Amino acid sequence: MSAPAAPLPPVLFADNHLLAFDKPSGLLSVPGRGPDKQDCLAARARARWPDALVVHRLDMATSGLIVMARGLEMQRRLSAAFADRETAKEYVAVVDGWLASDAGEIALPLITDWPNRPRQMVDHAIGKPSLTRWQVLARSHDGQGHAQTRVALFPVTGRSHQLRVHLQAIGHPILGDALYAPPAALARAPRLLLHACALALPHPATGQPLALRCEPPF
């Protein structure tokens, strides 16, 4: 008797050209290395839509909005839209401490920390230019009195772990971040408090503006 199919995450949008999902934290976007890492959003989507193809990814620990293309031509068009920065992404995070300003930007070059992969790091000599804009949504204290800031994040570039490294680099790591938060900030959340909440892009078939939204679960 075969095992039951893994559940499909909530479908936010679906037509003959484009799919959008609310990926839960803890689910891979694409298969990893090894037989124990084959379950992923892409595999679950293809079980229902065999022509579903990957366009971009979210970290396993990050939740939220992710799109897939239906067919090679739609994949090409969507990939070009991401590469040409015709898309606008918004994330929500809860970070350690209170950000001093109400808005700003972080421009720090990033590169893979090869001895400690998959970690990334700031490298002013050979890192790739990376830019994140941010805006404070709320400042508060958690149940133990620790200061925290809820912040909207607008990545201009799309480097691996960009938001996580940029916030850690300015002294405000994302709560629950197993890779970049110090132990105290890691312990304050049961998961990485980072969620892809909005994506605006041209529809790959019509070119018409498409605005997708997915509210955070935290």
Return the active site residues: 59
Distance, CA of 174 to CA of 60 (rounded, Å): 15
DSSP β-bridge partners for residue 189:
none
Distance, CA of 214 to CA of 91 (rounded, Å): 10
Distance, CA of 18 to CA of 100 (rounded, Å): 40
Whether 119 contacts 161, CB under 8 Å:
yes
State how far Cα 33 lies from the chain centre: 20
In eight-state DSSP terms, residue 174 is B
Q: How many C-alpha atoms does 70 have within 13 Å on its Cβ side?
A: 15
60 is written with which tokens? 């396993």
Q: How many C-alpha atoms does 32 have within 13 Å on its Cβ side?
A: 12
